[in-house]
Amino acid sequence: MRSTPLLFLGILAGMAASWWGVIVAPRLQLGGAPTVVVNGQHYPPRRPGLAEQGAEVYRAQGCNACHTQFLRPEGYGHDLDWGWGPRRTVAQDYLRDNPVLLGAVRVGPDLSNIGSRMGAGDTNVQPAMVAYQLEHLYHSRAAMPGSVMPAYPYLFEKRRIAGVPSPDALKLKAPYAPEDGYEVVPTPEARALMAYLLSLRTTISLPEAPIVPPPTNAVADAAPGTDAAVTNNATAK
């Protein structure tokens, strides 16, 4: 430790070794990974433009300060027991994301499969779930008493009802409802955020993370991890 150049080189070599081991080698392994083709479609799929804009809203609002987007496998926590998704998430799931917002703390539930929990593509479920999530976004306690999620009224527009009320207007109850003659409608940012949330799905079974079908006799009990529990949790959590 007497020689300054040797100390400098020693430190640099130690830090460079970790760079090579932690970043360069995984990048060589994963960096050029292609999308996989499942049922004739590429996975992960490209997000529609509105969902891409929603990803920007998600990042700008700092949603990842409270929500994670990764599920650990069985035996490493209880993520799957909570019905947040049908399988663990793997590197393949994030190939299209930039930035990848895994998150570090769960003040709120995990969102890696929130699209499925919101019934994405299911015309019977999706509209009601989107309306619920918009209400939650406007003022979390309007939808879920006791929630600690921040309110985002600036992602909505309160406006005077001109003629017929907008079909997109939130159905708010007192004390969150606007005064008579006014309505609250989502701004394009809020709609984009919903589109992004609907795009978050991990329902494709991958070789490294297969989806194990739930036991058929457990549906009635809505055991954690089953489809019934997922549906229940989508509203309860």
11: Cα separation from own chain's centroid:
40
Name which position in 137, 152, 169, 204 contacts another protein (CB under 8 A): 152
Q: What would the two tokens of residue 147 be? A: 């929630």
- Rounded-to-integer distance, Cα 156 and Cα 185, Å: 6
Burial class (CB in 10 A: 0-12, 13-18, 19+), 34: exposed
| Contact set for another protein, span 57-86 (CB under 8 A) | 59-66, 68, 70, 72-73, 75-78, 81-82
Q: What would the two tokens of residue 155 be? A: 């992602």
DSSP notation for 137-201: HH-HHHHSTT--SPP-GGGEEEEE--SSPPTT-----TTTSPPTTEEEEE-HHHHHHHHHHHH--
Beta carbon nearer to another protein, 39 or 98: 98
Residue 11 as a binder of another protein (CB under 8 A): the answer is yes
Give one word for 137, left, alpha or beta, with left for phi > 0 and alpha for psi -120 to 50.
alpha
Minimum CB separation of residue 22 from another protein in Å reads: 5
| C-alpha pair distances (Å), 96 with each of 48, 125, 217 | 12, 27, 37
Minimum CB separation of residue 72 from another protein in Å reads: 3
Q: Which stretch binds another protein (CB under 8 A): 89-97, 125-133, 165-173, 191-199?
A: 89-97
Beta carbon nearer to another protein, 50 or 100: 100
Residue 2 as a binder of another protein (CB under 8 A): the answer is yes
Beta carbon nearer to another protein, 164 or 220: 220
The full 3-state SS of 1-39, as one line of letters, equals: CCCHHHHHHHHHHHHHHHHHHHHHHHHHHHCCCCCEEEC
Residue 6 as a binder of another protein (CB under 8 A): the answer is no
Minimum CB separation of residue 123 from another protein in Å reads: 27
| Contact set for another protein, span 158-217 (CB under 8 A) | none
Residue 121 as a binder of another protein (CB under 8 A): the answer is no
Name which position in 36, 90, 125, 218 contacts another protein (CB under 8 A): 90
- Rounded-to-integer distance, Cα 151 and Cα 142, Å: 10
Contact map string, positions 39 to 58, toward another protein, x by CB under 8 A: --------------------
| Contact set for another protein, span 123-142 (CB under 8 A) | 139-141
Beta carbon nearer to another protein, 106 or 171: 106
Residue 22 as a binder of another protein (CB under 8 A): the answer is yes
